């Protein structure tokens, strides 16, 4: 936070605002970009939580601070943060610093708009449409729509929700209680962050043990399905769970049980 004398509004003293932003960006270039991408520097000045709390002043005050204090806080934040652009930083989801992408982020943050409608974000709406068109073309689609997802967990939740709508287009009007019980078959190794998704959307989730972390074959469903219903009722034998026969049989079973797994199984 900053007081009005140090950081005035644009209408009051735009020169002071420009000076502050240039100083802050100088800190970012020096500490986050140059040092943060240098192999001679640490990926992170690591501190345990209790120790870091003592080094950081996180109190929210009602009074502002001077520009010098603000710049020092910027340096402190960068110093004790993980430098994802560091050549020795490795993560399963992201890494690296692209100067062109950073320039784009500066523009979007400065404009501070949202893509609700064309009226509020004309340029970005057209850019979004073009990016989605290109992504569809990469998978061979000439038309369609799309949505950008902030992460893998919500992406999987969107997929489950779409599968439910594909199977029951009127589920929103009818309500979940009026639908047959829905089932979702997943590998036992599915990530923990994905497990809450079925609970929010379909209530029933069955884990299947598979030989591969990335492969779920039709006949891997045999133990789960047969043990739960088929073997007790004597309707099916695990010996014939193979290939397309499994696909066809699952479709029949889904209808006879009134427990339809989500698309593409049914």
| CA atoms within 13 Å, Cβ hemisphere of 251 | 8
What does each C-alpha distance from 88 to 38, 41, 42, 76, 226 come to in angstroms? 9, 10, 9, 21, 49
Angstrom CA distances, 60 to 4, 65, 155, 170, 195, stand at 17, 11, 35, 48, 37
Per-residue model confidence as pLDDT tens for the chain (266 residues): 455 454 445 456 888 888 999 999 999 999 999 999 999 999 999 999 999 999 998 998 888 888 899 999 999 999 999 999 999 998 877 778 889 999 999 999 999 998 889 999 999 999 999 999 999 999 999 999 888 888 877 888 888 888 888 888 888 888 877 888 777 776 666 655 555 555 566 544 445 555 554 455 544 555 555 444 444 444 444 444 443 344 444 444 444 444 444 443 33
SS3 content of the chain, % helix, strand, coil (to 5): 50, 5, 40
**DSSP H or E segment with residue 184:** strand 182-187
DSSP structural state of residue 221: G
| Residue-level pLDDT at 159 | 84
Integer Rg of the chain from CA: 27
- Global pTM reads 0.63
Q: Which of 212, 216, 215, 186 is nearest to 198 (CA)?
A: 186
Predicted local distance difference test score (pLDDT) of residue 226? 47
Listed by start position, the domains of the chain span 14-103, 113-144, 152-233
Q: Which CATH architecture has domain 14-103?
A: Alpha-Beta Complex (3.90)
Q: What is residue 251's DSSP assignment?
A: H
Q: Which pLDDT value is given to residue 138?
A: 94
Rounded CA-CA distance 74/89 in Å is 21
């Amino acid at each position: 936070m900053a007081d009005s004398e140090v950081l005035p509004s644009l209408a009051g003293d735009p020169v002071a605002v420009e000076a502050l932003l240039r100083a802050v960006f100088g800190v970012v270039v020096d500490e986050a970009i140059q040092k943060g991408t240098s192999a001679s520097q640490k990926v992170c000045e690591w501190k345990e939580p209790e120790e870091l709390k003592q080094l950081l002043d996180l109190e929210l005050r009602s009074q502002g601070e001077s520009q010098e204090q603000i710049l020092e806080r910027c340096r402190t934040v960068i110093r004790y943060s993980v430098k994802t652009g560091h050549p020795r930083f490795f993560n399963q989801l992201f890494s690296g610093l692209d100067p062109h992408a950073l320039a784009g982020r500066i523009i979007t943050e400065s404009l501070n708009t949202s893509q609700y409608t064309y009226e509020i974000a004309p340029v970005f709406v057209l850019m979004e449409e073009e990016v989605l068109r290109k992504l569809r073309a990469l998978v061979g689609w000439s038309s369609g729509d799309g949505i950008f997802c902030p992460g893998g967990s919500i992406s999987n939740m969107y997929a489950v929700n779409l599968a439910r709508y594909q199977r029951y287009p009127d589920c929103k009007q009818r309500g979940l209680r009026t639908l047959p019980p829905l089932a979702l078959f997943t590998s036992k190794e599915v990530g923990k962050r994905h497990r809450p998704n079925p609970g929010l959307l379909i209530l029933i989730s069955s884990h299947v043990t598979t030989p591969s972390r990335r492969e779920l074959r039709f006949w891997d469903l045999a133990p789960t399905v047969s043990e739960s219903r088929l073997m007790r009722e004597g309707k099916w034998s695990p010996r014939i769970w193979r290939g397309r026969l499994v696909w066809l049989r699952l479709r029949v079973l889904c209808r006879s049980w009134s427990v339809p797994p989500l698309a593409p199984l049914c």
